[in-house]
Structure 1
Amino acid sequence: MKSLFRISPLAASVVATVGLSPFSVAEETFTLEEIVVTAQKREESLQDVPISVSAMSGEKINEAAIPSMMDFAAYVPNFAVAPLALGDVVSIRGIQSGVLASIEQSVGSFVDGIYRGRATQSRFSFLDVGMVEVLRGPQSILFGKNTIAGAVNITSAKPMDEFAAELSGLYEVEHEETEIKGYVSGLLTENLRGRLAWLTRDMDEGWIENEFNDKHEPLTDEIAGRVSLEWDATENLLVSFKYEMGDWDNLGGSTDQIVLTPTMEGLMQAAGYDATPANGKTAIGNTTPGIDYPGQGYFKGDSDETALRVDYSTDKGTVTLIAGYSGYEFDRAVDADFYNSPVEIGFEEVETYDQESLELRYVSEFGEGFEFISGLYYQQSDLDSQAKSLVNNTGLLLNRYAYLEQESESWSAFAQGTWEVRDDVRVTLGARYGEEEKSAAQGVHCAEWDTFTANDALATCATNQFLLEFTPHDFTDLKRDEENWTYSVNAQWDVTPDVMLYSTLSTGTKGGGFNNFALTDDPAEAEFEEEKVKSIEVGAKMTLLNGAAEVNVALFDMDYEDLQSSVYTGNSGFVVKNASSADITGLEIDGRWQLSESLMLRGSAGYVDFTYADYDTAGCTQAQIAAYTGSGACSQDLSGESTPFTPEWTGSLSLEHEIELTQQLFLRTVIDANYKGEHSTAADNDPVSMQDAYTLWNLTLTLGAVNERWDVSLVGRNLTDEEYYIYSNDVPFSNGGHQASFGRGANYAVRGRLKF
C-alpha cells in the first residue's frame, strides 16, 4: 500500500503562533507528499506555481468516491457546476456563460491538451483521471481560447510500463444506480505502452417522483471508453495517441415545482396530482402526440475525441505538437410548461459540433536564470443547432423553428518568459495575440407540427408569431472578425524556503458571437460583443510545520466589461445581451495538514463579492412581467446586485484517517463537509429563487488489503438528506409558476475494487 506520508528525519518544535496546531510542541512531523501539476505547461510542484490553483489526483478522487464534476466542485473554492434543464453551467468566481448553444463556456476545459469549450464535450471528463487542476482567474496566455474566468486542466491516467488492471463496481441503493468501470494497462512491445479504460453507469430510480408517468426521475444510461498509446520512438521522441468515445440516453430530470399560483394548484389537483411545493414530486408530462415525451424529457447523444501528441526533448527544452479532433451530436427534449397544464409546451433541440485543433509549443529547460514558453495555436469548428418550440393551446397547434449554422476559425501566437532577477525573485511576462473569424446563418420561422420544416404560409402563423414572440426572418450573412492582445505580468518572491509571495496583473477576452434564439428581424439582436477582463491577484503559498502542512491564499480584484448574458424573456425565448460591467473581489484559501501518521486534514474556503456595476437590461421576474405595460421585452436594473449561482461564502473540510488493522488489512475513513452560502438560483434574482445556505456531509469507509489487491467501500453522500435546489426559473406563460432542479438527497452505495 502506498504511504500517505513520509516521516521527516527531523523532529520539530511547533509554536502556537503558527496557528495550525492546538499543541505547543510536536515530537515529530510528517512531510506531505508533493503534488505535481502542469498548470504552466511544465511539471512543477503546486507550491511553486504563482497562480490560484487547486489540484486533486485521480487516486484521491476515487478514495473519496467523488462521482462527478459537480460534486468535485464543492471541494474547490469559488468553483461551481450547476446542471440546468438545457445544459450545465460552470462558473469560477461568479463568472459563467449560461446555456445557449451559441455561447461558449467562460471556464475552458482542457483534457490532455485538447480544448473543450462546450459543456457537452466534458460529460465524461472523470473517466480514468490522472489529475484535475482548477486554475482560477483569466488564463489567456498558455491555454487555448475563451478562458476568461479560469480553466479546468485534466490529465488522463497514463499507460504503464508494467501490467496493471483494475475493475470497480458500485451499486447505490436509494436510486438503484449501478456503475462499472476499470482499466487495463501495460507494455504491448518493448517501446509501446497501452491503456484501455471504460465506464458504464445506469440509474433506474431517480430522486424526483413523477406522478404523470409513475416513474422516479432522472434515469441514466451512459457508457464511455478510452484507448491510449505511448510509443518511445527514440530516446528523445515520445508519441502519444488517444481515442475516447461516450454515449448517453438519459430520461427525465430533477425538476419539482417550488411556487404555484392558486390557479395552477387547482389545475394539478383536479388532474389528480399532488401540487404541494418542494415535496420531491412533480407532474411533468404531455399527452399531445409529438410532445408526449416520457416524462420531463430526454437527452441522448454521443461524443468522440481523438488526439495525437508528439514530444521531442533535448537538453535545452521540449517541442510539443498536439493535433486533436473533438465532436458530438445530441437530441434533447424538455417538457417546457413544467407541469400538467391545458397549455402543453415542448422544446426540442438537435445539435452537432465538430472541432479540429493544432498546437505547437516550445518549453525551454536552460536552467540558467531564464526560461520561456512559446507557441502557436489553431482551431476550426462547425456548429449546427436546430430547435423547435411546440405549443398545444387547447387544441391550437403551434410550432416555432429556430436554427443557427456557424463556422469559426481562430489562431493565436503566445510567449511567456521568466527571469530569475536574483536567487529569491522571479519575474514572468506573457503575451498572446489572437484572431477569430465567425460566420453564421440564423433564422426563425413558423413550422409544420412536430417537424424542423419551416412554413410561414401556415394559417396559424400569425397566432404562432404572437404567442411565441417572433418575427420570421433569415440572417444569411452574419460575420464577425476579432483580433486581440492579452498580457500577464507576474512577480514571485521566496520570502523563505517555505513561503512564496506572488502578484499578477493579467487581461483576458472572450469572443462575441451570434444568438441562436434571435427572435426578431433586427440584426442587432442576433449578435453579441466580446467581453473583457482586467485582473489583479496577490497570493501566498506556504509550507509549514517542517513540511507537515500547506496553506495557499489568494486575493483578487477583477473588472469585467460587456459581460455576455442570456436573458429569459419570461415566455418562450432568450435574448443575449452584454451587461455593461461587473466588479468582482474575493479571497481563496486552501490547504492540507498531516496531523499524525494516520490522519490528514484538508480544507478550503472561498469568498466572492460580485457586483454588477451597470446592468439595466436584465430579464424580469414573473411579478415584474405581470405588471409591465411597456412595449418590447420587459427588463429590470440589477446594477449593484450579484450574479446567480454565486454565494458570498463557500467552504469544504475533509478528514482522512487510515490505519492498518492487521498486517493484511487497512481501514480508511474519509468524512467531509461542503458548505454553500445563500445565493440566487435564477438569472433574474427573483426572491423566490433564493436558496438558503446549506452543508452537505459525505462519508466513505474503505476496508482493503495492504497489498492493494482489493478493497470494499461503503459510500454515503448528503448524509443529513439536505433539501436544496440548484437551478430555478419561471414557468412559461404562467404568472406565479416556478420550477426548480433539486439536488440529490441522501444516498448510500457499496463499492468493490479488484486490482491486478
Structure 2
Amino acid sequence: MTDRTYWALKIGAAAIALTAASTPANAQQIANAQSAAPPENAAAPEIIVTATKRAQSVQKVPISMTVIGSEKLAEFQATDMKSIVNSVPNVAIQRANGNDAIYIRGFGSASSNFAFDPSVSLYMDGIYAGKQRQAPAPFFDVERVEVLRGPQGALFGKNTAAGAISVVSANPTKEMSAGLTGTYNFDQKGYLLDGYVSGPVTDTLSVRFALRLQDQDGYVHNLGTGAWDRRDEMQMFRATARWEPSNSFDTTLKAEYGNINRPGGLTVSSPLNVQQDPAYVRYTQSSPLGPDGWTNQSVLLSNTANVHFGEFTLTSVTGYSWYSGRVTNLFDQNTPSGTIVPTTIENSYPERSNQFSQEVRLLSPTGRTIEYVVGAYFDTGKYSLNGTTYYNLPGYQKIIHTQFAQNSDTKSVFGQVTIHPASIVRIIGSLRYTNTHKDASFLGDIFRSPTGATSSAVGKIDENHIDPSATIQVDLAPDVMAYATYGRGSKSGGFASNTNGATSATFAFLPEQSENYEAGLKFAALNHAVVGSISAYHTRFKNLQVSVYSPSISAFLISNAASATAKGVEGSLTVRPIRNFDISANGAYLDIKYGDYPGAACLATQPSTCVPATNNLAGYSPTYSSKWTGSVQAHARFDLADYKVDVTGGGAGRTGFYDADTQDPKYGYQKGYIKYDLRVQFAPTSENWHIALIGRNLSDVHTVSSVFVLPASLTPVARALKFPDAPRSIALEVGVKL
C-alpha cells in the first residue's frame, strides 16, 4: 500500500468515525438538514483577519491562508508552532536542539545556522520576529493566528519568501472580565496555568493583564540523570493598555516578559540500518559545558496608534525586542545496543539580540473606485552568538570557540492599490522596495588539539530588492469569490554564524528570491453553513539558501541551491449540517523538486561514486516535504438542562518524508502517519466554568522531527541521533471565568 493510499484511507476512516461518534443526529436527520436551508444559528461565524492591513473577512482575502482562533488554540493547548502544525496543511516544523524551523510548501530555513533569517517570517502584533527566541511562546493569550502561504513580500515584506505567520494577541475589553485555566498533564506530569484580567479603568482607558506559568516534565527518560527531558519551565507576563480619548485617535501599548528554562535534550540514539521507531530513552552525564537544555529571557514591546482624519487612517506600529538565551547540547551516549559510551562531543551556544522597528502606513477610505495603502518601514538590530564545541576522543581533544557578531538595518517603502472597474471586480497591485544592510565578523579558535588553528572572517552585505504582486478578484456570486495572483518575495543574504573554519571568501551566502503564481476560489453556501476554499499554486525559488550537515567535518555547510520549484493544491471545507454540530477538513498536495543544485552534498540514495564537487541534485526533493498533508476535525454539543457537553475530535496526518539531510531511506525517512486528538468538556450553559479531559496523539504514534548522524570519527559507535515528537498524553483541564 502506498503512503498516499494509506493516508487517504486512514484519514477518511477518522472522519467517518468522528462524525458517527460526535453527531447528535441520525443519518436521516442530517439528510433532511442538508436538503433545507439551515437555521440562522447553524451558520459559521465570520472570521475577520488583517492580512491585507485592513480588517476583512477571510473569505474576501485573495490569499491561501489558515486562521486559528483563540478557542481552537485552547481546545488542544497549543503553545507553539509544533502543536498546531498537523492542523495546517502544507506546514512542517523541523525540531532540533538549536532553533525550530518552519517550512511552508516545502520551503524554509534550516535550524542549524543560528543567524539564518527565516523564509517563513513570524509577526507578533505586527512586529517582525526574525529570531525564534524573540517570541518563545507565540500562542500566549492570543486572539488568532493567521498562516499565510506563499510569498508575502509586498505588504509583510521582511523575509517572507515562503510565507508569513501573523499572531495577534488579545486586546483589553470594554467590559470587566477575567479567566483562569489550569491543566495537569498525567503523562508529562506537571501543570500549565493561564490567566487574564481585562476591563475598563476609565471611559477612555482599558487594560489587560495576562500570565502563563508552566512546569511539566518532558517525554524522554534520561537514564543518566533520572529526569524526563526536555522539561518545560515557563513564566510569561503581558500587560496591555488601550487608550481611546476620542473617535479620531487610539493607541494600544503591549509589554511582554518571558523567562523560559527547558532542561534536558531531545536526542535519542538509533542504529543506522533500521527504519525510524524512536525509543524515548537517552543517557547523558555531567559536562564541562554545563547541563543540557536551553534557557531564554525575552522582552517584547509594541505600540500601535491610529489617527483617523476624515475617512483616512494613519497607523504607526513601533516595536522593540530583546532576548538573551543559551542552548547546550549533550548528545545521547546510549548506543543502539544499550552500551554507554564516553562523552565525545557537546556544544553550547549563548546568544543575544535586540531589535527596534518602526512602520507607518496610510489607509484610504473603502468603498471607492480606487483604494490604497502606502507606508514605510525601518528596523535595526544587533545579534551575537558565542559558541563552544568540546571534543573528547582517544588521543584527540579539542575545544573550539567561535564568536559571531552582526549588525543589520532594513529600510523599505510599500504600497497597494485596489481598483474597482466594476462592482464585482477588483484589480490589486502592490509593490515594495527594500534595502538591507548587514555587516558581520567571525572568529574561531581551536585549543588543546594536536595542531591548534584560528579562523576569522568579516563580511558586508548591501542589497536592494523589489517585490511586486498583482491580483484580480471576481465575485462570481454573493458568497463566491475567485482570484488569480502573481507575487514575488525575497529573503536577504547572510553569514555562516557557527561554522568553524569560515573565511571571508566563504562567510556570506546570497539572498534568495521566490515567484508565485496562484489561483483560488473561496465560497459559502446555505446561509454560510458550508464554507470552503481551494487554491492551486506554482512557486519557484532562485538561490534557495540551504544548510547541510557534513559528518566528515562535524559542521553544517551553508550554500545556495540554484533553483527549486513547488506546485500543488490546497483546500479547506467546514460544514454545519445541523445546530450544534460541525465538521472541518483541510488538505494539501505538494510536488517540490530542485531545478538545479550543483555542488550539493551527496545523498544516501546516490551512487557511491558520487563526488560533491560534480554532484547536482536536480530532480530531487528537499527534506521535510510530504506529498500529502491534511486533517479532519468534528465538534458536537449536547445540551443537558442547564449544562452542556462539548466533544471535539480530530485526526491529522501526512505522507512520508525525509527528515535527515542525507535522505537515507532507513534512519532518515519518516513514514506516513495520522495522529488523533480528542477533547470532552462539561460546563454550564453560562460558561462561567468548565472541566475537560484532553487526549493528544491518542493512538501513541511515535514519529521523528529531524535526524543527523554522528560518524565513527566522532564516537566509538556510529549512530543516528533523532529528535522524537511527543507520544500520547492525557490531561485534565479546569477553568473559570468572571
Normalization by structure 2: what TM-score?
A: 0.91
2:267–2:722 contact (8 Å) kept in structure 1 = yes
Q: Distance in 2 between matches of 1:261 and 1:414?
A: 53
The corresponding residue for 1:26 is: 36
> Residue 246 of structure 2 corresponds to which residue in structure 1?
234
1:602 aligns with 2:584: yes
The alpha-carbon distance between structure 1 residues 635 and 196, as it changes in their structure 2 partners (threshold 3 A), is farther
Query: Is 1:127 aligned with 2:179?
Result: no
Which structure 1 residue ranges, 4+ long, deviate > 6 Å from structure 2?
20-24, 622-625, 627-630
Give the aligned partner of residue 639 of structure 1: 618
Partner of residue 14, structure 1: none
Is 1:533 the counterpart of 2:514? The answer is: yes
Query: In 1, distance between residues paired with 2:139 and 2:556?
Result: 31
- Corresponding position of 1:12: none
State the Cα RMSD in Å. 2.2
Question: Residue 754 in 1 paired to residue 733 in 2?
Answer: no
> How far off is 1:618 after superposition?
3.1
Aligned mates of 1:500, 1:253 — CA distance in 2: 48
Q: What are the residue-to-residue correspondences of 1:652-667 with 2, within 5 Å? A: 652-662=631-641, 664-667=642-645
Name the CA distance, whole Å, in 2 between partners of 1:45 and 1:748: 36
- Given candidates 168, 177, 181, the residue that maps to 1:168 is 181
1:343 and 1:394 in contact (8 A); partners too: no
Mapping for residues 221-300 of structure 1, pairs under 5 Å? 221-260=233-272, 278=277, 280-287=279-286, 289-291=287-289, 293-294=290-291, 297-300=292-295
Q: Which of 93, 97, 115 is residue 81 of structure 1 equivalent to?
A: 93
Matched residue type, 1:332: V
**1:306 and 2:301 aligned:** yes
Which of the numbers 710, 716, 719 marks the counterpart of 1:737?
A: 719
Q: In the superposition, relative to structure 1, how do residues 623 and 173 fare at CA in structure 2: closer, same or farther (>3 Å)? A: same
Residue 182 (str. 1) matches residue 195 (str. 2): yes
Secondary structure at 2:505 match in 1: helix
1:331 to 307, 326, 335: 326
Match of 1:578 among 560, 563, 573: 560
Equivalent position amino acid for 1:695 in 2: I
Q: Who is 1:451 aligned against?
A: none
Provide the residue aligned with 1:672 in structure 2.
650
Quote the offset at 1:27 in angstroms. Answer: 5.7
2:85 counterpart letter in structure 1: A
* Aligned 8 A contact 1:338 1:731 in 2: no
Verify: 1:136 aligned to 2:115, yes or no. Answer: no
Provide closer, same or farther for how the CA distance between residues 329 and 319 of structure 1 changes in structure 2, counting only shifts above 3 A. Answer: same
1:366-381 superposed matches below 5 A = 366-381=366-381
Q: Percent identity?
A: 28
Is the contact made by 2:94 and 2:110 (CA closer than 8 Å) also made in structure 1? no
2:128 is the alignment partner of 1:149 = no
Q: CA deviation at 1:325?
A: 0.3
Secondary structure of the 1:61 match is helix
Residues 526 and 518 of structure 1, relative CA distance in 2, 3 Å threshold = farther
1:149-548 paired onto structure 2 within 5 Å: 149-204=162-217, 206-260=218-272, 278=277, 280-287=279-286, 289-291=287-289, 293-294=290-291, 297-336=292-331, 339=334, 340-342=340-342, 344-394=344-394, 396-447=396-447, 460=449, 462=451, 472-476=454-458, 478-520=459-501, 522-548=503-529
2:317 partner amino acid? I
Structure 1 residues 353-408: Cα deviation after superposition (integer angstroms, max 9, x where no partner): 11000000011114222110000000101010111110111364310111210000
Assess if the C-alpha contact under 8 Å between 1:472 and 1:521 holds in 2: no
Q: SS of the residue aligned with 1:47?
A: helix
Counterpart check, 1:722 vs 2:701:
yes
Query: Which digits, 9 at most, give the CA deviation of each residue in 1:247-302, with x for residues without a partner?
Result: 1111113322231589xxxxxxxxxxxxx984624343245x514x54xx210111
Q: Which secondary structure does the structure 1 equivalent of 2:84 belong to?
A: helix
CA drift of 1:659 comes to: 2.3
**Structure 1 residues 343 and 638, CA, compared in 2 at 3 Å: closer, same or farther?**
farther
Question: Deviations for 1:145-165, whole angstroms, at most 9, x for unmatched residues?
Answer: 001111111111110111100
Q: 2:632 matched to 1:650? A: no
**In structure 1, what is the equivalent of residue 598 of structure 2?**
616
Could you report, residue by residue, the CA deviation over 1:7-36 in whole angstroms, capped at 9, with x for unpaired residues? xxxxxxxxxxxxx97987236343221111
The 1-side partners of 2:457 and 2:316 are apart by 38
Deviation of 1:75 (Å): 1.0
Q: Which moves more between the two structures, 114-123 or 407-416?
A: 114-123
Q: Which amino acid aligns with 2:288?
A: G
- Distance 1:486-1:589 versus aligned 2 partners, 3 A rule: same
3-state SS, counterpart of residue 120 of structure 1: helix
Question: Alpha carbons of 1:576 and 1:108: their partners in 2 closer, same or farther (altered >3 Å)?
Answer: same
3-state SS in 1 of match to 2:303: strand
Shift of 1:435: 0.4
2-side partners of 1:261 and 1:557: how far apart? Answer: 37
Which SS does the other structure have where 2:687 is aligned? coil
Residues 196 and 210 of structure 2 are in contact (CA less than 8 Å); yes or no, is this contact kept in structure 1? yes
* 2:573 aligned to which of 581, 588, 591: 591
Distance in 2 (alpha carbons) for counterparts of 1:214 and 1:657: 42
The Cα of 1:518 is off from its aligned counterpart by 3.9
Determine the C-alpha separation between the residues in 1 that align with 2:234 and 2:279. Answer: 24
SS at match of 1:62: helix
Distance in 2 between residues matched to 1:525 and 1:39, nearest whole Å = 38
| Cα displacement (A) at 1:621 | 5.2
Structure 2 unaligned spans of 5+ = 1-29, 335-339
Shift of 1:736: 4.5
* Aligned-partner Cα distance in 2 for 1:56–1:101: 28
**Which residue of 1 is the match for residue 118 of structure 2?**
105
Distance 1:427 1:166 in 2: 44
Distance 1:277 1:727 in 2: 11
Q: CA deviation at 1:47?
A: 0.6
Higher relative contact order (CA 8 A, sep 6+): 2
Q: Which residue of 1 aligns with 2:14?
A: none
Pairwise CA distance, 1:727: 1.0
In the TM superposition, what is the alpha-carbon distance from 1:76 to its structure 2 partner? 1.1
Summarize deviations over 1:550-576 as a string: whole Å, max 9, x none: 110010001111000112111421111
Q: Tell me the distance in 1 between the aligned counterparts of 2:190 and 2:31.
A: 41
Q: Which amino acid aligns with 2:264?
A: G
1:74 alignment partner, SS class: helix
Cα distance change on mapping 1:338 and 1:327 into 2, 3 Å: farther
State the 1:215 CA deviation.
2.4
State the shift of 1:345 in Å.
0.8
Work out whether residues 257 and 300 of structure 2, in 8 Å CA contact, stay in contact via their aligned partners in 1.
yes
Question: Which structure 1 residue ranges, 5 or more long, are not aligned?
Answer: 1-19, 263-275, 448-457, 465-470
Contact 2:79–2:137 (8 Å) recurs in 1: no
* CA distance in structure 1 between the aligned counterparts of 2:343 and 2:726, rounded to whole angstroms: 30
2:551 counterpart of 1:551: no
Partner of 1:59 in structure 2? 71
Question: What is the DSSP-based 3-state SS (H/G/I as helix, E as strand, rest coil) of the residue aligned with 2:108?
Answer: coil
Q: Is the 8 A contact 2:98 2:114 kept in 1?
A: no
